[in-house]
Amino acid sequence: MSQWLKGLVGFMAKEFSKADYILRSLQKISHKRWELYIVSRIIHKIDDDIEFVCQQHVCRPDGYRALTDIYFPQFNLHLEIDEKHHSKQVVEDLERSDDIVLATGHEIHRLQTYYDEGSFKDISIVAAEADDFIDKLKEIKEIDVDKRKFVPWDWNYAYSSSRWITQGYLDVADNPVFRTQAEALRCFGFKGKSLQRGVWRIPDSTSDIVWFPRLYKHGMWHNKITKDGGHIYECAENSEGKRSIADQLFDAEKNPERKTIVFAKAKDSLGRNLLRYVGTFKLNISKSTEDCIVFDRLSTREKVRVC
């Protein structure tokens, strides 16, 4: 086992801190010299309450799937650092991706480390361009603070249901992420300590359910979300899966108004498990088959339901 994997296993096995997150994020990109220089410069100069994610996978509105070098969730802003000879690694990373942010309306900023003819820029020029980007971040933050839209990055609060219960709703644009099913379900009235289940019915007057699918091939399922996030396909890989599909279609006919609130299971850039809200869907019986169920997205926003 490589030293990186040994470190990652140890990291995932214990309680992690914000310092762990920052140091591991930098360690992951340590083999990319220019990216490490620029990202570390940005991290050292931005305010502590600005959240960042290194190596975020993105599905853009045009359907293109990308790996952005650093992402700022509070501002829906991505920075891509253009280095020579790195495209092959990007493709390999994309093929291993589980966690995808649906980047509708996000801004992509680029910082190029070389001139168009191929020679590298002087490091002082790259530093100045990185500092210009940092100034841009700070200006955006100031505008959001003035509008009372800025939510500071609080390490202990970031994956808590409290944030969304206070806000009153979940929205795909805000990238709600949770570490456990129980924490996600507290937004809908769950009062237990833990839960390990694929589907949970909300205890209110509706028949609505919360679903925690893996949106990739896993076990008896091969689930997929479309590039625009508008549809989910739950496809069976064997006879057991087909029996489950038959049961779900039968149940959907009895509950035609049922909504399915979806938290996709995935891993973040450091390999930690997460659950990301990707929208509220409805099973489309007419489009489904005995092998594959189709879910159409009704909304990218869902009200919390706390008794």
pLDDT at position 108 is 85
85: left (phi over 0), alpha (psi -120 to 50) or beta: left
Domain that holds residue 89: 32-146
pLDDT at position 60 is 65
Mean pLDDT of 215-242: 91
Q: Name residues whose C-beta falls within 8 Å of residue 50's C-beta, 6 or more positions apart in sequence.
A: 72, 74, 137, 141, 153
Contact, 113 vs 142, CB < 8 A? no
Q: What is the pLDDT of residues 101-142, one digit of tens each?
A: 766 678 888 998 988 777 889 999 999 999 999 999 999 999
Token representation of residue 136? 């841009």
Q: If we measure between CA atoms, which residue out of 161, 175, 158, 167 comes closest to residue 76?
A: 175
Q: 129 and 45 share a domain?
A: yes
Q: Calculate the alpha carbon distances from 244 to 172, 196, 247, 271 in Å.
A: 28, 18, 5, 30
Lowest mean pLDDT among 95-104, 116-125, 255-264: 95-104
Token representation of residue 28? 């992951």
For residue 226, the domain's CATH number is 2.30.280.20
Position 87 pLDDT exceeds 50: no
Q: If we measure between CA atoms, which residue out of 223, 197, 222, 237 comes closest to residue 281?
A: 223
Give the CA count within 13 Å in the CB-facing half-sphere of 34. 22
Coil, strand, or helix at residue 107? strand
Q: Name residues whose C-beta falls within 8 Å of residue 154's C-beta, 6 or more positions apart in sequence.
A: 49
For residue 15, is it within any domain? no
Q: Quickly state the pLDDT bin for 100 (edges 50, 70, 90).
A: low
233: left (phi over 0), alpha (psi -120 to 50) or beta: beta
Q: Quickly state the pLDDT bin for 264 (edges 50, 70, 90).
A: very high
Position 13 pLDDT exceeds 50: no
Token representation of residue 269? 């850039």
Structural domains in the chain (count): 2
Last residue of a domain, one of 120, 146, 172: 146
For residue 8, is it within any domain? no
**In sequence order, which ranges of the chain are alpha helices (DSSP H)?**
3-13, 18-28, 33-45, 87-95, 123-146, 161-167, 181-185, 239-254
Q: What backbone torsions phi and psi does residue 268 show, to the nearest 5 degrees? A: -80, -175
Q: 200 and 278 share a domain?
A: yes
pLDDT at position 159 is 85
Q: 177 and 270 share a domain?
A: yes
Cα 97 to chain centroid, rounded: 11
**In sequence order, which ranges of 174-223 are alpha helices (DSSP H)?**
181-185
Q: 75 and 194 share a domain?
A: no
pLDDT at position 97 is 44
For residue 155, is it within any domain? no
Position 292 pLDDT exceeds 60: yes
